[in-house]
């Protein structure tokens, strides 16, 4: 029999006192077809919505994880990110930040060039400058509908640009500021030096993640975790917000009541399976997002091997790929 699949609306993560569970979340893609039907992009990646709730307050969570600032839970914060927009024949494509090799010094120098423009239009000082992320109170841009680089990269940006919601003209105001920044960076020596090194120029600024900490709605599996594993920047902020320890790599001696979101879950599967076989764990909960919808499955030791009608043959363990595609 396949692993148990539980419905989206049931309380999937409540555990009995005796249940020793490890929760593994696997990244998914957005349900782009739904957005096409409504002629608007889907709001957030499914894992972003699962971790943070429908308001998607990504910026304040990232700020919390990257800084030692005391973040006002009711202050609406925006994340600004220097990016490269790649020009094709008829549109622009947003490159992922991991592809542009931006250094800390370059980031600091680029910010100084445009800082007066940013702080004048936002009406506030920049709160914190990270390597790739700059944070500022959203001010007049608080009502914009935006999309994270994780969601929009590799795609035609026309569909993913900020949009007005409750107040008209705000997206136009952002595009004006964005254009002014683009012109300043176009002639900046940093981009001349990057071009000589064969690196993509930093030619635009992306805004996203607008929200406040008070809007976070973390799932029970995260709120009740004793340890969080994974290197995604959102996890650092959520761990601090929830006062839960967090580290990048899984410690296979500490699996009970833990939550993980890691880049290559297949590599960890053998160690997690061993946790079931050794009775360190009673079950593994796998959370994934087929077609953008949240799916929860409970894996127990009896689910680890392939089922066969040839009962006399020794059963073989299911690979991670077989397990996740079930």
pLDDT tens figures, 95-118: 998 899 999 999 999 999 999 999
Q: Which residue is associated with the tokens 């392939």?
A: 306
- From CA 292, how far away is CA 274, in angstroms rounded? 30
Place 34 in a pLDDT band, splitting at 50, 70 and 90.
Answer: low
Same domain, 209 and 257: no
Is the pLDDT at 312 greater than 60? The verdict is no
Same domain, 262 and 276: yes
Report pLDDT digits (tens) over 116-129.
999 999 999 999 99
pLDDT, position 135: 98
Q: Which residue is associated with the tokens 């007066």?
A: 116
Which helix (H) or strand (E) is 173 found in, with range? helix 170-186
CB 240 within 8 A of CB 3: no
Q: HSE (CB half, 13 Å, CA atoms) of 206?
A: 28
Same domain, 71 and 130: yes
pLDDT, position 322: 83
Last residue of a domain, one of 158, 181, 215: 215
Is the pLDDT at 6 greater than 50? The verdict is no
Please check whether residue 37 lies inside any domain of the structure.
no
Please check whether residue 174 lies inside any domain of the structure.
yes
Please give the mean pLDDT across all residues of the chain: 89
Q: Which residues, at least 6 apart from 45, have a Cβ–Cβ distance to it below 8 Å?
A: 27, 28, 29, 30, 148, 150, 151
**Which of 9-13, 175-179, 234-238 bottoms out in mean pLDDT, i.e. has the lowest?**
9-13
CB neighbour class for 261 (10 Å; exposed up to 12, middle 13-18, buried from 19): buried
Same domain, 165 and 269: no
- From CA 109, how far away is CA 113, in angstroms rounded? 7
User: In the predicted model, what is the mean pLDDT of residues 142-157?
Assistant: 93
CB 98 within 8 A of CB 153: no
Among 64, 69, 26, 56, residue whose Cα is nearest residue 230? 26
Please check whether residue 44 lies inside any domain of the structure.
no
Last residue of a domain, one of 158, 190, 215: 215
- From CA 153, how far away is CA 167, in angstroms rounded? 26
| CA angle, 163 then 168 then 173, to 5° | 70
Residue span of the structural domain in which 286 resides? 4-29+219-324
Most confident of 50-64, 88-102, 307-321: 50-64
Same domain, 9 and 80: no
**Which of 15-24, 72-81, 104-113, 297-306 bottoms out in mean pLDDT, i.e. has the lowest?**
15-24
Report pLDDT digits (tens) over 208-266.
999 999 999 999 999 989 999 999 999 999 999 999 999 999 999 999 999 999 989 99
pLDDT, position 32: 64
pLDDT, position 308: 53
Is the pLDDT at 137 greater than 80? The verdict is yes
Same domain, 184 and 282: no
**pTM passes above 0.85:** yes
Is the pLDDT at 7 greater than 70? The verdict is no
Is the pLDDT at 10 greater than 50? The verdict is no
At what angle are helices 58-66 and 233-242 packed, to 10 degrees?
80
pLDDT, position 33: 58
- From CA 291, how far away is CA 46, in angstroms rounded? 9
Report the number of distinct structural domains present in the chain: 2
- From CA 219, how far away is CA 113, in angstroms rounded? 41
Torsional sign, CA 120, 124, 125, 130: negative
Please check whether residue 295 lies inside any domain of the structure.
yes
């Amino acid at each position: 029999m396949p692993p148990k699949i539980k419905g989206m609306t049931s309380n999937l993560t409540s555990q009995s006192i005796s249940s020793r569970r490890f929760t593994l979340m696997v990244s998914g893609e957005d349900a782009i077809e739904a957005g096409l039907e409504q002629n608007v992009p889907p709001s957030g990646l499914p894992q972003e919505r699962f971790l943070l709730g429908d308001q998607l307050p990504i910026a304040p969570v990232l700020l919390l994880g990257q800084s030692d600032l005391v973040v006002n839970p009711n202050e609406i914060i925006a994340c600004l990110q220097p990016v490269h927009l790649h020009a094709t024949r008829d549109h622009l494509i947003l490159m992922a930040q991991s592809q542009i090799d931006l250094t800390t010094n370059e980031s600091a120098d680029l910010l100084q060039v445009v800082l007066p423009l940013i702080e004048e239009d936002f009406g506030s000082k920049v709160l914190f400058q990270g390597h790739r992320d700059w944070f500022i109170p959203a001010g007049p841009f608080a009502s914009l509908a935006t999309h994270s680089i994780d969601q929009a990269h590799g795609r035609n940006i026309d569909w993913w640009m900020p949009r007005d919601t409750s107040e008209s003209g705000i997206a136009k105001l952002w595009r004006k500021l964005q254009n002014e920044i683009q012109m300043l960076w176009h002639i900046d020596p940093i981009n001349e030096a990057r071009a000589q090194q064969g690196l993509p120029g930093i030619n635009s600024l992306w805004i996203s993640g607008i929200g406040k900490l008070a809007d976070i709605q973390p799932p029970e599996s995260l709120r009740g975790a004793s340890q969080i594993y994974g290197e995604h920047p959102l996890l650092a902020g959520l761990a601090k917000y929830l006062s839960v320890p967090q580290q990048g790599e899984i410690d296979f001696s500490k699996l009970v009541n833990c939550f993980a979101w890691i880049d290559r879950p297949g590599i960890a599967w053998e160690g997690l399976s061993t946790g079931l076989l050794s009775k360190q764990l009673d079950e593994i909960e796998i959370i994934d997002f087929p077609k953008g919808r949240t799916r929860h499955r409970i894996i127990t030791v009896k689910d680890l091997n392939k089922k066969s009608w040839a009962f006399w043959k020794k059963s073989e363990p299911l690979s991670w790929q077989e397990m996740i595609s079930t």
